[in-house]
Structure 1
Amino acid sequence: MSLHHMTPQRQAIRDKWGSIFELEPLPGSSEYFPIEVFFVLGVSKNKTLNAAVAMEAEVKKDIIVAEFDDSYFNLTRKVLMAFKWVKEFCPTAKYVMKVDEDTYLNIPKFVALIQSLEWNNTLFGPYFFVDPVLRTGKYAISKTAFPAPKFPPHIKGNAYFMPIDVAMKILIVSEHMPYVSMEDVAITGVLAKIFNFRHFGSAKDQYYIHKAASTCELVTGSIIISQQIFVDTFYKIWDRVKNNSMCKTVK
């Protein structure tokens, strides 16, 4: 998921962890695992930003623009629209993963995890067993959309991963369910619960819930996913991916 004004952030992802999609072996490995990275946006109320994104999309060929307002309320629609796009344009995909643009994903470690486990009917990411439903404020959900006082177990929206057939089942059933605007709860909790999909939570040493990981924790440690990572840090991390000896003295 991305926002219109975050052009430098998108470029940092293209240049760094997202560059692996260019069908090169994983850093430090001869292993090949094809990955495609796309940025999903809605329509901004700012026409100048829309025009800039349209130009970027024409040049980069990796931007998907949904025909609805780019707003917090429409985050669930953005994810579902991305699933529809994958269904139409990536029919041979085996997996789908949603990653926020301020999130760093350690591709080699993540691919090793994918290949070490069986993923049938399973979603992976930072797991939350229960959250209260709020009725007021930014995160408010109406009783019509979700009447229960607590959300079902779900994966937080920074990053979640699933086999393609899981994503397609969620997409289909979403058309028959009330709309829940909190996309992580909606996609990986409410809709996933209909099929009793399993949740495989990232371990505490793979993801910090409340803070960003350090650059070297993302390179030489056990961290796979980190939130709150922005442009300069993306480049620092990647320098150390290419030369992890830098982490012997730089923390």
Structure 2
Amino acid sequence: MDIMNCIPGTTLRLYSVSFRNVPVSIKTVISYIKVKTLTPKICSDDIELLILIPSTTWNFKQRDAIRRTWGNAKSSDAKTKVVFFTGQCINDTLQEVLEEEMALFRDVVQENIIESYQSLAEKSIALLRWASSNCPKVTYALKTDDDMFINIQNLVNVLRERKPTKAILGFKPPNPSPVRHKGSKYYVSRKQYSKDRYPPYISGTAYVMTGDIISALYNSTRYVPLLFIEDVYITGMCREQIGAEAICLPGFASSKSNGKINGKNFEKRIAGHHFSPQDIIQMWDELMRE
């Protein structure tokens, strides 16, 4: 099958990243591994922050950049664990490369979900299911996109100071209302959602869930009617169903700082959005530089 089926306008070699440059002995072993699900190990009981990252199947460079920077275990003094969640792609070549990545890092969960904007809510349900089953004693869980830059130490410091419980925290959009314009990708019909306003919700680019609600939040998805707008569904409708609080947390933002790429902008911030893998690596180097 042609890789073009999955990545329009490009080829697989453009997505070759550092995990492929491993010793031949390891690659030889991997070539004999034919397991479709090389899922991460369950969490140890002392994980303070579980980091859950929905990621498109072919976003190898994004995942590689996160592992090398803010997703690295040494990025903070907290005990953390990073897990990526991908969907399916009808392409044997791409699947083979993904399985190499899964075997090397053991931090990718592949779900039986088609990669699309419309399926983002399904992917978030899947990560909640995985977290509730494999990390039941985690203190906090951060769900974040793979084009985000996160200062994990700043986030951990705030959580330790505030000690929130039964809550979801992050950027809280004002005046949440459904988009009724049919030309928008955010269009929601009256049949899909009949009310004129959404419940208060936290932006899906990055939000923190306290560990005491993860199982209840997942269970609520079994009976709260699905809405494809992921953040509204998970952090608004399902959160409201279980009686958890939506808290605006300073330091979260959905855009770059004045359109500029500079890691020093994150000395006091927690999160920013729309960064390329190259941006993330550059910003991390700048942030770590004395």
Normalising by the smaller structure, the TM-score range is 0.7 to 0.9
Alignment partner of 1:36 out of 56, 81, 103:
81
Gaps of 5+ in 1: 27-31, 245-251
Alignment partner, residue 70 of structure 2:
17
Q: TM-score, normalised by structure 2?
A: 0.75
Cα shift at 1:219 = 4.0
Show the 5 A alignment for 1:71-150: 71-135=116-180, 136=182, 137-150=184-197
In 2, Cα distance between the equivalents of 1:172 and 1:145?
21
Report the identity percentage: 23
List, as ranges, runs of 4+ consecutive aligned residues in structure 1 with deviation greater than 6 Å. none
In 1, Cα distance between the equivalents of 2:168 and 2:283?
27
Q: 1:177 to 1:234 in 2, by over 3 A?
A: same
In 1, Cα distance between the equivalents of 2:113 and 2:200?
28
Identify which range, 234-243 or 173-182, moves more after superposition: 234-243
Alignment partner, residue 199 of structure 1:
246
Alignment partner, residue 272 of structure 2:
226
Q: 1:83 to 1:141 in 2, by over 3 A?
A: same
Matched residue type, 1:2: S
Alignment partner, residue 185 of structure 1:
232
In 1, Cα distance between the equivalents of 2:265 and 2:129?
32
In 2, Cα distance between the equivalents of 1:90 and 1:209?
28
In 1, Cα distance between the equivalents of 2:252 and 2:153?
15
In 1, Cα distance between the equivalents of 2:236 and 2:109?
25
In 2, Cα distance between the equivalents of 1:25 and 1:228?
20
Would you say the 8 A contact 2:220–2:242 is kept in 1? Answer: no
In 1, Cα distance between the equivalents of 2:158 and 2:149?
16
Secondary structure of the 1:102 match is coil
Cα shift at 1:170 = 1.4
Identify which range, 228-237 or 55-64, moves more after superposition: 228-237
Matched residue type, 1:19: N
Identify which range, 169-178 or 132-141, moves more after superposition: 132-141
Cα shift at 1:71 = 1.6
Larger gyration radius, structure 1 or structure 2 = 2
Alignment partner, residue 242 of structure 1:
288
Would you say the 8 A contact 1:146–1:178 is kept in 2? Answer: no
Secondary structure of the 1:127 match is coil
Cα shift at 1:149 = 2.1
Secondary structure of the 1:128 match is coil
In 2, Cα distance between the equivalents of 1:202 and 1:61?
31
Deviation track 1:118-167 (CA, whole Å, cap 9, x = no partner) reads: 21121111111332212424223343332112211111111000112222
Alignment partner, residue 114 of structure 2:
69
Would you say the 8 A contact 2:224–2:237 is kept in 1? Answer: no
Secondary structure of the 1:129 match is coil
Matched residue type, 1:72: Y
Would you say the 8 A contact 1:218–1:224 is kept in 2? Answer: no
Q: 1:126 to 1:217 in 2, by over 3 A?
A: farther
Alignment partner of 1:49 out of 88, 94, 98:
94
Secondary structure of the 2:104 match is helix
